[in-house]
Structures are given as C-alpha cells and as structure tokens.
Amino acid sequence: MTEPTEETETAEPETPAEPAQEPVAVEEPMEPVALEAAAPEPAAAVEEATPPAAKPPPAVPSRRPLVKRHHGLVRLTHWANALALLGLIASGLQIYMGFPHFGDRGHRYFPNPWDGKPFPLQVRLGGWLAGGLNWHFALAWPFVLSGLFYLGYLVFSGEWRSLLFRPRDVPRAWQMQLYYLRLRREHPPQGKHNALQKMAYTSIVLLGALSALTGFAIYKPTELSWLTALFGGYQLARYWHFWAVWIFVAFTLVHVTLVFVVDPASLRAMITGWYRGRFPSHD
C-alpha cells in the first residue's frame, strides 16, 4: 500500500487509474467534506462538488476523503502504552503469585475472587518472582513516560478539547447510550469523538494515573509513605493496583470490539494516522 506522506493530505493513493478526478473534488474544501462525511449521504456531497465532465465512471464508487486523524506522537504513545501495559499485566500476574492475597499477615484478607489462586503460565511474564519484578519495573518506565508524553501533547496541541469529558457531555453521553441501545434512531451529532468516547478516553487516562500512583505506593511504601497512606496503606494500595488491571482488561476488550464493529477505519488511522471513515476528524 502506498501511503501518502504527511505533507500531501490530498493525495489519493489507492486509485492511481484516475489521478485527476477525485483529488479535484477533495483538494480545496478539505474540512467541509470531511465534516459532511458524517452525514447519511456523503457520496452525494462529493458528487455535487464534482464538475459533471469530470464525473468518474459509474463502475468506480466514489470514496470518502482521506484525512489526517492522529498525530505521530499520539500513535507512537498509543502503541507503546498498549505493549507496555500488556507486559505490565503479564508480569504483574507473575508477581501476584508471590503472595496471592491482600491484607496484612494475621488479619482477614480483603475480598478477592482470585484469593490464593494461581494464574496460568500462559498469561504470566518473567517465569518467576524476580523475573516478573524485573519486567514490571523496566516496563513501568515506558508506561509512565508514554503517558506523560501523550498528556503533554494533548495540552500543547489543544487536542485535549476533543477528548476531555466535561459536564456538558453528560446529556450527550446519555443520547449516545440511547442510540447504542437502539432507543434512539439517528446517530447523535459529534465531533472527532462522541461523548461516550470522551468519557472512556478521559477515564482510561485517570485509570493509568491511578495504576502508576498505586504502583509507586507499593514500590516505596516507606520512602513514599504519604502516597501509600493516601491509598489506605500498603495492602490496600496493592488491592487497588490489582483491580485497575481488570478495568484495563475490560476497557481493552470493549475498545477493540468497538473499533471493528463501529469504525474499522479507525484502526488504520491509529497505525498510519490517515482516516477514511464515517466520522469527522475535527471538532
């Protein structure tokens, strides 16, 4: 596949047979067309803008414009974070086996469906406790650093506006939920992300922060005793750290399912940055 370079947004690499026609329609009104792509009949909009003489042959379906959706830093940190998280969870499950309980010695342990239970070898990383620890403490760096780079990018680029879930998004999230439950017919209008996505992407950043902070609280419970105390002590910090894993796992399952069910084009956008899908790429 020949991908366009990041400078030439209007290139149309997948239809080299008719080089002049589609780019003409797309070249100038880049953003309006991108926004109209979310309308029920985007094909009509493209045809309207196309001079009749340059109309493509009817056998070739008109396509949505290819637009830049994700900055390189977002894509890099997304995949770095995904890999680091995979390794952190696998090595974390190995570490868990060292003492598969939560609570001080001599006290009742906190409720945990996996209390005293081992995790299968297939999901563990490190082979033994020391191996799991070394993987975990090594991968904590890319996890935290990619998280900080990502947040830094959002702040400096202003991209946070299309991602941060705010009070005004509450009714919109409700409408979106109704749509998913088929209690509302038409897809609510949205910008780059719908309100439920904003809720998910805001929460997952908070969950990442919770994981990192509880991680530090467990790593240095004496030297960072103030942080450990904030989470209710060493054993409770371990407990929250462990539960964050299952929220991450649940998030990832839903996240990946929705990519394929709702917007498969978004996978390509997260890999190459370029998007040819049904939703706008700007608010």
Partner 1 sequence: MTDDRSFDRRDLLRLGLTAGVASLATACGWQGGPLLPALQGASRLNDWVGEKVFLSNHHLATQYPVTARTPESAFPVYAISRPALPQLTDPAGWALEVGGLVRRPVRLTLEMIQALPKVRYTVKHHCVEGWSAIATWTGAPLSSVVAMVEPTEKAQYLRFDSFDNGYSNGWDLTSAMHPQTILAYAFNDHPLGPAHGAPLRLYSPVKLGYKLTKYLTKVTFTSERHGGYWEDKGYPWLGGV
DSSP string, 26-49: HHSSHHHHHHHTTSS-HHHHHHHH
CA separation (Å) from 29 to 7, 16, 23, 123? 17, 21, 11, 50
**CA diameter of the chain:** 84
Choose the stretch contacting partner 1; rule: CB under 8 A; options: 95-103, 150-158, 180-188, 247-255: 95-103
Residue 248 CB, shortest distance to partner 1, in Å, is 15
Cβ proximity to partner 1, 164 vs 253, nearer residue: 253
Binding mask 164-203 for partner 1 (x = CB under 8 A): ----------------------------------------
Tokens for 156?
A: 């400096």
Element (H, E) at 84: helix 72-96
Residue 154 CB, shortest distance to partner 1, in Å, is 25
DSSP string, 203-269: HHHHHHHHHHHHHHHHH-TTTTHHHHHHTTSHHHHHHHHHHHHHHHHHHHHHHHHHHHHH-THHHHH
Choose the stretch contacting partner 1; rule: CB under 8 A; options: 46-54, 94-102, 151-159, 247-255: 94-102
- Tokens 């239970």 locate to 117
28 forms part of the interface with partner 1 (CB under 8 A): no
Residue 92 CB, shortest distance to partner 1, in Å, is 11
DSSP 8-state assignment for residue 119 = P
Identity of residue 165? F
Q: Which of 4, 23, 29, 131 binds partner 1 (CB under 8 A)?
A: 131
Choose the stretch contacting partner 1; rule: CB under 8 A; options: 24-32, 72-80, 205-213, 228-236: 228-236
Identity of residue 272? T
39 forms part of the interface with partner 1 (CB under 8 A): no
90 forms part of the interface with partner 1 (CB under 8 A): yes
SS3 68: strand
SS3 57: coil
Q: Which of 234, 240, 243, 251 binds partner 1 (CB under 8 A)?
A: 234
223 forms part of the interface with partner 1 (CB under 8 A): yes
Q: Which of 11, 30, 49, 63 binds partner 1 (CB under 8 A)?
A: 63
List 68's β-bridge partners, or say none. Answer: 274
69 forms part of the interface with partner 1 (CB under 8 A): no
Q: Which of 17, 121, 181, 183 binds partner 1 (CB under 8 A)?
A: 121
- What are the residues binding partner 1 (CB under 8 A)? 61, 63-64, 86-87, 90, 94-96, 98-99, 101, 104-106, 121-131, 133-135, 137-138, 141, 219-225, 229, 234-235, 238, 260, 263-265, 267-268, 276-278
